[in-house]
Structure formats: structure tokens, C-alpha cells
Amino acid sequence: MTIRSLALAIACASLIAGCAKKEESVAAAPAAAAPTAAEADAFVQEAEKSLGDFAEYEAKVAWINSTYITDDTDWLSARVGAESVQKSVRYAKDAARFDAVQGLSFDTRRKLDTLKQMIVLPAPSAPGAAEELATLATGLQSAYGKGKGTYKGVPTPGVELEALMGTERDPEVLKEMWTSWHAVGKPMRADYVRLVGIANQGAKELGFADLGAMWRSNYDMKPEEFAVLTDSLWGEVKPLYDQLHCYTRRKLNQKYGDAVQPASGPIRADLLGNMWAQEWDSIYDIAAPAGAGDIGYDLTDLLVKKNYDAVKVVKSGENFFTSLGFAPLPDTFWSRSQIIKPRDREVICHASAWDLDNKDDLRIKMCTMVNASDFVTVHHELGHNFYQRAYNKQPYLYLGSANDGFHEAIGDMIALSVTPEYLVQIGLLDKSNVPDASRDIGLLLRQALEKVPGLPWTLLVDKWRWGVFDGSIPVDQMNKGWTDLRLKYMGVVSPVPRSEEDFDPGAKFHIPGNTPYARYFLARLLQFQFYQKACEIAGSQGPLHRCSFYGNKEVGAKLNAMLEMGRSRPWPEALEAFAGSPDMSGKAVVAYFAPLQTWLEEQNKGQQCGW
């Protein structure tokens, strides 16, 4: 690419319309000389400036749309989304022109690759495709945000149903909530199929086999190698999940009887205390081991008794990070965040963390409730915020985590430290009430019910999408593909018959929200590697699951050294910088739950495990 054509491409990337004719004139011009390394450097510099300048505007529009859902904000978000897609796709296509250039610096090559891989939904070059894709994406997300199910016949928002799934024990009411909420996905089906078709074509224009291959290419390895890695990692932890499934099914059978939950085969999904059966800790009262089930405290009760409100819950999360030596959140965090659900408008309650200016405009978006689940979620979300600020001095194309699993894992690592010892340190639990070693199985079981089911769940969500994207799951069998994968990986089934009239994937935010999900699978593993290393640095004695590194500045300094790298280096280097090894592994998960797995195997003797 010549300097002249490069400048024209960059100018076109900033326009919504009017570029087609100019691009045609470039195409009709005599063939340009082969691009050079100097032109690649200049292209990256201009791309970073243009995208960086646009990012704050785009983020603020997205924030408004998420916290004030109206037809007008939907329209505005779709328009800005279309512009963003057009810019990103044009830069991605221009970046591909430098693939064969020799002598590029490490940073220029890495940033060119990032430009090709950073798009979640690439639009093809066909006129109107970007606008249609953005409109579809915005409409799907808004349909989810506006969705309601029913509880005992009363229309109820999804966030409230999620909480009720953890406390309700009437199987008929659980079935009603599950079925009514999953109906939210039905109207999305046709739009989702159309969206996949457009985005797949966009991915192919960028040189990828399909959208799934494009997503998987973002892990410093070939797409097929990443798929193999996830299967290998799942194999390391599957025996633990199998034992937990077997034990939990028996407890549910004892609670509800054969007519509701048979003693063999899969588990009925709505009985597991979570709308998607991805976390089972809400049914600990059912699964608790005889004689050892009382772990000595209830975190929700502790929060209520100590007069916590939503803001104080968030303050606790901030306090963990400041105890490690991180600077406090800016004042604007507290004045601009959505911490509680507004009463006067529709919002997206799904928790998320934001950095609107890639500097210090950090925010959290939640509909926070004073309970154990949201206490942990706050620690997770603030992990994103502190990570965002740690790398904010990196160039624009390095603003991100080493891979997207790292971003999710940091907060989860902090959440793992919500142990009895930590609760004592922050004054929520009296030292005299800390459970002794006889309660360890109960503590571990409760933690396993929260953490372990998420491993197969987070794997199957993108397994389903990869199948839809590459056609191995046909569009007329999408719901069957979903239920088949849930059965294969999780051993759970729907409480009522499903058909292709349904679109159950649409009932999970990340599907209509088009958020790649493999990151959460990686995070479920990385958090234990990070936690294990943090406890080692802190010199923690005793069982790993009781460790708290709260207040340890050495952990904070070493953690920050990894976080501030952003995505400037391949993720194995970032992993090694903190964890001491470049290899991702499930061994830390197995080590953490080793006493529990031995106990589960004893409890399951004579049972027909599996499904």
C-alpha cells in the first residue's frame, strides 16, 4: 500500500457513508507497490489514534443505552455500533494487506494481528450490512434487557427471577420460572440466525473460515489448537465434576423423590438453584453433608446484620484492592456508576465493569442486592476495573488483558479469597465464629457447588456457538444442539419438553449480547492458578481454601506487574510473570478441591454415577 492509498483508507474508515465510490476509484487505479514495513508502522500509528479517539464516544453511547433503554437510545447505539463496525472492519482488512511484509517489529506485527482479531461481529463489505448487523445486535440485547418471566403468575424481571431461583424450593414454581424466562429467547431466533449469517460473511472476508474460527484466533495460537486446548483442560477437571454431579443428584432425589428427580440419569436443570444451572451453591441447604453441613455462618445474614447497603458492598470490593496497594477508585466512579436498579426506567442489570475513556473514568453497572452472591460479584467486577486502570498507559491496541480469560480471572481470584479468614479481617465475622477444620468439607462443598459446574457450562456455551457458526449445528436444529450439549457436558435436562419453536440460548445474556464465552472457561481455571500463587507469595499456612492474601502488598506489587502489561505480550508470558509457569492448567483446581473429591468418592460408593 502506498502512503497515498493508506491515507485514503484511514480517511474512509472514519466515515459512515460516502466511502464506496472512493474505494472503487482506488480499486480502479494502477496496482500499487508492495507495502513496506515503514507503511505498516504508519498505518498502525494512525489506526490507534483514530480508534482511540472514537472509543470514548462509543463507550458513552453504550453506557447510556445500557442504563436507559428506550427506542431512541437503541437507535443511537445501533448507529454508533454500525460506525464502529465499519471502522474496525476497514482497519482489519487493511491490516491484512501487511501479512506478507517482512522485517516488521514485534509490536507492529502484534498490533496488526490485534486489528484483525479485535472485532466480535465483523460486517461484510456489502452496502447496508454494517447498519443491519448493528441494528440486529442492539435489538437482541435490548430484547433481553426488557424481558420478563413470571413468579406464581406475576410478571417479574429477570434479575429478580435469578434471585428467586436460589431460594424457591417448590418444583412447580421453579418449573414456571425457568419456562417463562426461557420464553424470552423465542422472539430472538430469526434475528439471531440473520446476525450469524452476516457476521460469518464478514469473518470470511477477513480470511477466517467462520466467526468461531475468528474468535478462537485471539489466543496466540491457531484456532484449531485453541479448541484442542480447551478440551484438554476440561479433561483434567471432569472427574471432579462427575463426582459432584453424582452426589448432588442423590441429594436432590432424596429431597424431591423419583417423580421430580430420578436417582439416575441427568439432573433437572431448574432444581439446581440457578436459572442456567451454571452455579449450584444456592442449593447448599439441600446438598449439605449430614453432620458437617453447617459451615458456621451465612454471609448474607452477616451483611444484613452489619447494616450493609449496596454502596457498602461495593466499597468492600474496593477495600480489598486498596489493601493490596492499589490506589482507590476515582470519585467519579461513585457519582457515575449504576450501583442499584433505577425505579424509573429499563436498564440492563447484568453486572459489568466499564472504563469509558481508557484512562480513569471507571464505572460499575449492577443492580446490587445485599446478599452473598452480589458481594462476591462486586469483587469480581472491580477486578475488571482495577485491571483496566493498571494497563491504561499502554498504547490503544494493547489496552486489554493478556487474553480475555485473564480479565475474568483476576476478579474471581479476589473472590476466592472471600474466606472465613478474610471475613474476620474486614469485621464481618467474629474470630470466635470461624469454623474449625471439622467444617472444611462443608466449606469446600459450598465452594465447589459455586465454581465447578461453571466449568462445563462455560465450555458448552461457545461450543454451541462454534457449531452454529461453522454449520455443524444447523440453524433448524439450534435448540436441539443446545440441549444436546448441556446433556453431554453437564448432565442436565430442561424441566419441560423443548422444540425448535424455542430458542433457549437467548435466555442467557451473553448470547443476545454477543459476548464470547470461552473467556469464562479459561477464567475458571486461571483464577485458581493465580490464587494458589498469591497464597504462596503471602506465605499462607494451612489449607489452600482457607487462605486470604488480603492486605499483602507483595502480592499486590507482583499482581500489578502482570496487569500493567495489558495485552502487550503473548498470554503465556503474562501468566509466567505472576504464576511462575507459562502453561495453563486445571491442576490448581484439582489441588484446591482434593480433600472434597476424596470425600465425594466415598459418598458415591455404590451409586450409579454418570448420565
- The residues assigned a catalytic role are 350-351, 380-381, 384, 408, 510, 520
Side-chain-side CA neighbours of 263 within 13 Å: the count stands at 7
Picking from 277, 259, 21, the residue whose alpha carbon sits closest to that of residue 127 is: 21
- CA-to-CA distance for 230 and 76, rounded, in angstroms? 38
- CA-to-CA distance for 568 and 397, rounded, in angstroms? 8
Helix, coil or strand: residue 433: helix
- CA-to-CA distance for 151 and 164, rounded, in angstroms? 8
User: Contact at 8 Å (CB) between 147 and 184?
Assistant: yes
Say which residues have a Cβ less than 8 Å from residue 78's Cβ, sequence separation at least 6. 131, 134, 135, 137, 138, 139
- CA-to-CA distance for 461 and 513, rounded, in angstroms? 13
Instruction: Give the torsion sign (CA, 62, 368, 314, 402).
Output: negative
**Residue 578 corresponds to which amino acid?**
F
Question: CA-CA distances (angstroms) from residue 587 to 277, 352, 446, 591?
Answer: 24, 29, 20, 6
Picking from 181, 287, 290, the residue whose alpha carbon sits closest to that of residue 244 is: 287
- CA-to-CA distance for 298 and 378, rounded, in angstroms? 18
